[in-house]
């Protein structure tokens, strides 16, 4: 299992905090590419642009 995913298992408290803040700041996540947005409007625009087809 040496596929370089070890860094995902070990998560420092600082990384946890950063991810929490990111999710708190940008609660609207695109379910197609996991990108995050501050506003629902941005997510809608992103979807229309990137995943329109």
What residues make contact with Zn ion under the rule CB under 5 A?
30, 32-33, 35
State which residue, 19 or 32, has the beta carbon closest to Zn ion. 32
State which residue, 16 or 44, has the beta carbon closest to Zn ion. 44
Q: Least distance to Zn ion from the beta carbon of 33, Å?
A: 3
What is the SS3 string spanning the chain?
CCCCCHHHHCCCHHHHHHHHHHHHHCCEECCCCCCEECCHHHHHHHHHHHCCC
Q: Least distance to Zn ion from the beta carbon of 23, Å?
A: 16
């Amino acid at each position: 299992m040496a596929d370089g995913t070890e860094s995902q298992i070990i998560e420092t408290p600082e990384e946890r905090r950063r991810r929490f803040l990111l999710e708190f700041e940008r609660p609207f996540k695109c379910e197609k590419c996991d990108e995050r947005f501050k506003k629902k409007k941005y997510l809608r625009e992103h979807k229309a642009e990137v995943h329109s087809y």
